[in-house]
Amino acid sequence: MTGINFTQQNELVVFQGELTRETVEKNFEKKTTHLLRATKLTIDLAQVTHIDMAGLAWLLIMVEHAPKNTCELILQNLPENLLKLAKLSAVDSFLPIK
């Protein structure tokens, strides 16, 4: 397990590491939902090395909370395994992919 980190530069947030059940926990959700205070937010996952169902669930939570916070959320550079998980789970259409 390498953990997950993120850096924010204006409307762009770049995640690095693993988005897995070991790294996505209640504190992580609390640490990241504040990002939705922006009117527009782009989450870049190009540097995510591993993602599982917990990571997908976290992304779906962000997608769900974004309109409640009047935040336009965009996801970019999604790892191939995330796209496969989303498609297998029939939630791929919910992801605002750029």
pLDDT for residue 65 = 93
pLDDT for residue 33 = 84
Q: C-alpha dihedral over 58, 63, 68, 74, to 10 degrees?
A: 130
* pLDDT tens readout for residues 40-71: 999 999 999 999 999 999 999 999 999 999 99
Sequence-distant (≥ 6) Cβ neighbours of residue 97 within 8 angstroms: 74, 75, 76, 78
| Structure confidence at residue 29 as a pLDDT band (50, 70, 90) | confident
Question: Above 90 in pLDDT, residue 31?
Answer: no
CATH entry 3.30.750.24 includes domain 4-94: yes
pLDDT for residue 1 = 57
